[in-house]
Amino acid sequence: MILTVTLNTALDITYRVRSLRPHASHRVSDVTERPGGKGLNVARVLAVLGHEVTATGFAGGATGRVVQERLTATPGVVDALVPVAGATRRTIAVVDERSGDTTQLNEPGPTVTPAEWSAFQEAYADLLASASAVALCGSLPPGVPVGAYAGLVRAAKAAGVPVLLDTSGEALRRGVAARPDVIKPNADELAELTGSHEPLRATQDARRRGALAVVASLGTEGLLAATPEGRWRATPPARLHGNPTGAGDAAVAGLLSGLVERLPWPDRLTRAAALSAASVLAPVAGEVDRGAYEELLGRVAVTGEVTAA
Amino acid sequence: MILTVTLNTALDITYRVRSLRPHASHRVSDVTERPGGKGLNVARVLAVLGHEVTATGFAGGATGRVVQERLTATPGVVDALVPVAGATRRTIAVVDERSGDTTQLNEPGPTVTPAEWSAFQEAYADLLASASAVALCGSLPPGVPVGAYAGLVRAAKAAGVPVLLDTSGEALRRGVAARPDVIKPNADELAELTGSHEPLRATQDARRRGALAVVASLGTEGLLAATPEGRWRATPPARLHGNPTGAGDAAVAGLLSGLVERLPWPDRLTRAAALSAASVLAPVAGEVDRGAYEELLGRVAVTGEVTAA
């Protein structure tokens, strides 16, 4: 199975209102809820691709219970979230029906105690034993040390499990130094890591900092990859209109499934770009329709060069 | 025990944010949650006064579970909520720390099926057998017939249980015709019921429509009562600064406890006005501090006249 780690899980709630006006009272016309946090989004897309996935991380309180119930009801995904005393956070996206704009309210995550962090690390080590690859995704909740991902990368490598890291800021900086197999920063995260706003240079620089392969997700410009085998760019078909939330998570699922299936890099990137595009086009942010993905597969252009042996 | 009915229960969530701006992303700095819906607020205040209270109405889904857990943890309150398949609604109050203003987002209530409505009516009839008084509070969720309160008023009267009705619009109009012992409209609800914006005339008119006693809550002007025994006005001490949310529910608790304790009307009104004022002054909307209430009791002025025998 593929293991995804989401230390800061969430219940993502979407409200539709006629028009959001501060200081007014609003009737919510429609409520949707789904388990959130980048690693859970990755898990769902991997399941759509037919992979067996185990999702770990933390869950607590009434909201954590809802996240676990929903996860358990997702075909192909096994819930291995570790309990915390604090409450899993809710995120609320308020969609203004008139303008189409979204206002976001994000609760703080639960504070994880040292004992809970230790319990997670033990559970993680156990899960690695049967994992073919692992994705470490998203922000760290309060209480988890900033070097957490570096430790989880090292544990995966010690267990011989390929590891992809998708986070930001100091957690990414420290994690990269532990030499993950792949990182998937977006343009901002890559610039913050390397100090360079020039993606070609920055992906190379991120490799020098420790990442074996770097795949930068550059929005409408697609993916830019620097790997030991070569450098490639995967470009989606024309400009896509839709919701880019979750597109990066779909790309992670594509990269990870391609790694497990031992696809050549260009094929992994094609898959990742097609999943990313399918996610943008999906009516619900981050959900991927298998039919749309398969149709898009043929419309991704990959260009690049293989590294001389 | 005193029975309170809340057909449209809620989980009231309060978020604090630095400054609410549409289309931006916000970190919520503080989250508080409590069971809501007018009848549950009434139940809490009755418990503070030392009464045994049973709270019924509907609860469903994950949010309903949280409401029931919280209610069970409230000393003096017994949870007798009836299950529904739909999810209990959340209300979210977003408090802007800079302006102090509140933006409200209210989910729709669950749709109650005819079978669920029948199950509630049976449970209600059973609970009436051991009730000394009953309060019917708040709006009707979708699926519950608009004449619901009229039926519940009649059932209470048939069981010999005094009944207070606190609702609005057509549900109030129909409920009043069933001759409840007390109604407690606010100024708007009273004007909508009677067509008169003159409170003295409107309270008399509401009595003619069927209510045995009418206690109008007029905000900073206090309470105006028209009863078979006389007419009174209870005025709180000066202008109070605070949150008026829940002040009407505190007044209902005062009226109902006074009725059960067979207090004379002026004493019931003094209690209701003092509880209402204590609720306005409380840091959390609708919570009443017993010390503040007792201090305010001596500062409510009641004026009026007894009806000639």
Q: Copy the structure tokens of residue A110.
A: 């639960």
Q: Copy the structure tokens of residue A184.
A: 């998937």
Return the residue of A nearest to B63 by Cα: A62
Provide the 3-class DSSP secondary structure of residue B61.
helix
pLDDT of residue A34: 92
Indicate whether B179 belongs to any domain.
yes
CA A303/CA A308 separation, integer angstroms: 16
- Summarised one tens digit per residue, pLDDT across range B202-233 is 999 999 999 999 999 998 889 999 999 999 99
Q: Do B31 and A108 touch (CB under 8 A)?
A: yes
Provide the 3-class DSSP secondary structure of residue B234.
strand
Residue A74 Cα, gap to closest chain B Cα (Å)? 18
Return the residue of B nearest to A103 by Cα: B23
What secondary structure, in 3-state letters, does chain A show? CEEEEECCCEEEEEEEECCCCCCCEEECCEEEEEEECHHHHHHHHHHHCCCCEEEEEEECHHHHHHHHHHHHCCCCEEEEEEECCCCCEEEEEEEECCCCCEEEEECCCCCCCHHHHHHHHHHHHHHHCCCCEEEEECCCCCCCCCCHHHHHHHHHHHCCCCEEEECCHHHHHHHHHCCCCEECCEHHHHHHHHCCCCHHHHHHHHHHCCCCEEEEECHHHCEEEEECCEEEEEECCCCCCCCCCCHHHHHHHHHHHHHHCCCCHHHHHHHHHHHHHHHHHCCCCCCCCHHHHHHHHCCCEEEEEECCC
Q: Is the pLDDT of residue A6 over 90?
A: yes
Identify the helix (H) or strand (E) that includes residue B296: helix B290-297
pLDDT of residue B284: 72
Q: Is the pLDDT of residue A309 over 60?
A: no
Q: Do A23 and B66 touch (CB under 8 A)?
A: no
- Summarised one tens digit per residue, pLDDT across range B2-61 is 999 999 999 999 999 999 999 999 999 999 999 999 999 999 999 999 999 999 999 999
Please give the DSSP secondary-structure letter assigned to residue B223: E
Cα–chain-centroid distance for residue A109? 17
Indicate whether A131 belongs to any domain.
yes
Chain B neighbors of A22, CB-CB under 8 A: 20-22, 96, 101, 103
Cβ neighbours of residue B287 under 8 Å, at least 6 residues apart?
B44, B246, B279
How many structural domains comprise chain B?
A: 1
Indicate whether B96 belongs to any domain.
no
A25 vs B: CB within 8 A: yes
Q: Looking at the partner chain, which of A24, A28, A108 has a beta carbon nearest the beta carbon of B28?
A: A108
User: How distant, in Å, are the alpha carbons of A151, A286, B42, B297 from that of B292?
Assistant: 54, 51, 17, 9
Tell me whether residue A119 is exposed, middle or buried, using C-beta atoms within 10 angstroms of its C-beta: 0 to 12, 13 to 18, 19 or more.
middle
What secondary structure, in 3-state letters, does B146-199 show? CCHHHHHHHHHHHCCCCEEEECCHHHHHHHHHCCCCEECCEHHHHHHHHCCCCH
Cβ within 8 Å of A, B 276-305: none
Cβ neighbours of residue B44 under 8 Å, at least 6 residues apart?
B74, B77, B286, B287, B288
pLDDT of residue B100: 82
pLDDT of residue B283: 74
Q: Is the pLDDT of residue A259 over 90?
A: yes
Indicate whether A246 belongs to any domain.
yes
Q: Do B105 and A99 touch (CB under 8 A)?
A: no
Regions of chain B with pLDDT less than 70: 285-286, 308-309
* Domain that includes residue A128, residue range: 2-7+36-87+109-306
Catalytic residue of the set B96, B166, B249, B289: B249
CATH of the domain at B191: 3.40.1190.20
Q: Is the ipTM of this complex over 0.85?
A: no
Mind telling me the catalytic residues of A?
249
- Summarised one tens digit per residue, pLDDT across range A33-83 is 999 999 999 999 999 999 999 999 999 999 999 999 999 999 999 999 999
Q: Do A28 and B101 touch (CB under 8 A)?
A: no
- Summarised one tens digit per residue, pLDDT across range A167-202 is 999 999 999 999 999 999 999 999 999 999 999 999
Q: Do A107 and B15 touch (CB under 8 A)?
A: yes
- B183 touches B210 (CB < 8 A): no
Q: Please report where in the chains the tokens 């969720």 appear, as a residue.
A: B141
Tell me whether residue A228 is exposed, middle or buried, using C-beta atoms within 10 angstroms of its C-beta: 0 to 12, 13 to 18, 19 or more.
exposed
pLDDT-derived band at A90 (thresholds 50, 70, 90) equals very high
Q: Looking at the partner chain, which of A28, A96, A99 has a beta carbon nearest the beta carbon of B106?
A: A28
Chain A neighbors of B24, CB-CB under 8 A: 103-104
Q: Looking at the partner chain, which of A26, A65, A101 has a beta carbon nearest the beta carbon of B105?
A: A26
Chain B neighbors of A92, CB-CB under 8 A: 92, 105
Q: Looking at the partner chain, which of A24, A96, A104 has a beta carbon nearest the beta carbon of B103?
A: A24
Mean pLDDT of chain B: 94
Provide the 3-class DSSP secondary structure of residue B92.
strand
Indicate whether B25 belongs to any domain.
no
Indicate whether A93 belongs to any domain.
no
Task: Tell me, yes or no, if B166 is annotated catalytic.
Answer: no
- A151 touches A158 (CB < 8 A): no
pLDDT of residue A205: 96
CA A176/CA A165 separation, integer angstroms: 8
pLDDT-derived band at A99 (thresholds 50, 70, 90) equals confident
User: How distant, in Å, are the alpha carbons of A146, A192, A265, B4, B143 from that of B293?
Assistant: 49, 56, 72, 21, 38
- Summarised one tens digit per residue, pLDDT across range A268-297 is 999 999 999 999 888 776 688 889 999 999
Indicate whether A47 belongs to any domain.
yes
Chain A neighbors of B107, CB-CB under 8 A: 15, 28, 31
**Cβ neighbour number for residue B32 with a 10 Å cutoff:** 12
Q: Looking at the partner chain, which of A22, A24, A92 has a beta carbon nearest the beta carbon of B92?
A: A92
Q: Do A23 and B101 touch (CB under 8 A)?
A: yes
Tell me whether residue A78 is exposed, middle or buried, using C-beta atoms within 10 angstroms of its C-beta: 0 to 12, 13 to 18, 19 or more.
middle
pLDDT of residue A240: 73
CA A117/CA A58 separation, integer angstroms: 9
A96: β partners: A17
Question: A174 phi and psi, to 5 degrees?
Answer: -70, -40
Cα–chain-centroid distance for residue A69? 21
Cβ neighbours of residue B45 under 8 Å, at least 6 residues apart?
B249, B250, B253, B254, B275, B279, B286, B288
A244 vs B: CB within 8 A: no
B164: β partners: B135, B182
Indicate whether B246 belongs to any domain.
yes
Q: Identify from A92, A98, A101 which residue to disrupt to test chain B contact, counting B C-beta atoms within 10 A and taking the largest count.
A: A92
More confident residue, A164 or B99: A164
